């Protein structure tokens, strides 16, 4: 079972992080259009599971991906087993999910700068993210593992990359973008 070992942080200096990542690997821009689904009673999401249709729009291609994430295997990072497949028709896929009794939960876009890097013998994806509905900039660094036993080592490698680009431990967050869009924090401006 593949588990996505991932850490996410709020970025205080996006330009410095982007420069550090660019020194590691060239970046590519993409917009992710995400639509999340939940059971009618909300228990699917409440149990820590995620069901998503994502459209990735980049200069290279437009891809549509159906993703299921099981509950987290690591509470500190929120790392989850993940299953993905490419779908040809996202509208038909959404119609199927709705017909199966799921409901549309939330939709939003993520504006991403992706950097594919290799550290500690692992292929990683480092992504600088902004979501129009959420204040701030985020950094996600992820790598796939071979199972739960590999998660601690994978997360140590991810933490090292985060430190290398200037992310402090107090900047880490496990807040989901879907939750932040559904339940926005009051603005600190004013």
Burial of 144 (0-12, 13-18, 19+ CB in 10 A): middle
pLDDT by position in tens, the chain (length 190): 789 999 999 999 999 999 999 999 999 999 999 999 999 999 999 999 999 999 999 999 999 999 999 999 998 899 999 999 999 999 999 999 999 999 999 999 999 999 999 999 999 999 999 999 999 999 999 999 988 999 999 999 999 999 999 999 999 999 999 999 999 877 655 4
Question: Of the candidates 127, 148, 167, which has an alpha carbon nearest to the alpha carbon of residue 5?
Answer: 148
pTM summary value:
0.92
Tokens of 41: 């009673």
Which fold, 3-182? Hypothetical Protein Pfu-838710-001 (2.40.320)
Domain regions of the chain by residue span: 3-182
Tally Cβ neighbours within 10 Å of residue 27: 17
45-61 burial code (b ≥16 CB/10 A, e <16): beeebbbbbbbbeeeee
């Amino acid at each position: 079972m593949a588990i996505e070992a991932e850490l996410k942080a709020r970025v205080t200096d996006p330009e410095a992080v982007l420069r550090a990542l660019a020194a590691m690997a060239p970046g590519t821009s993409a917009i992710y259009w995400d639509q999340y689904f939940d059971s009618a009673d909300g228990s699917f999401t409440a149990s820590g599971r995620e069901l998503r249709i994502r459209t990735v729009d980049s200069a290279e291609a437009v891809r549509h991906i159906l993703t299921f994430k099981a509950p987290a295997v690591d509470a500190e990072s929120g790392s989850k087993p993940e299953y993905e497949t490419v779908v040809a028709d996202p509208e038909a896929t959404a119609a199927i999910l709705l017909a199966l009794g799921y409901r549309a939960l939330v939709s939003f876009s993520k504006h991403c700068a992706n950097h594919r890097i290799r550290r500690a013998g692992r292929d990683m994806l480092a992504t600088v993210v902004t979501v129009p509905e959420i204040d701030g900039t985020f950094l996600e660094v992820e790598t796939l593992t071979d199972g739960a036993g590999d998660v601690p080592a994978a997360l140590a490698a991810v933490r090292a990359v985060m430190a290398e680009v200037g992310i402090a431990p107090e900047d880490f967050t496990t807040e989901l973008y879907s939750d932040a869009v559904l339940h926005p924090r009051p603005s600190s401006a004013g």
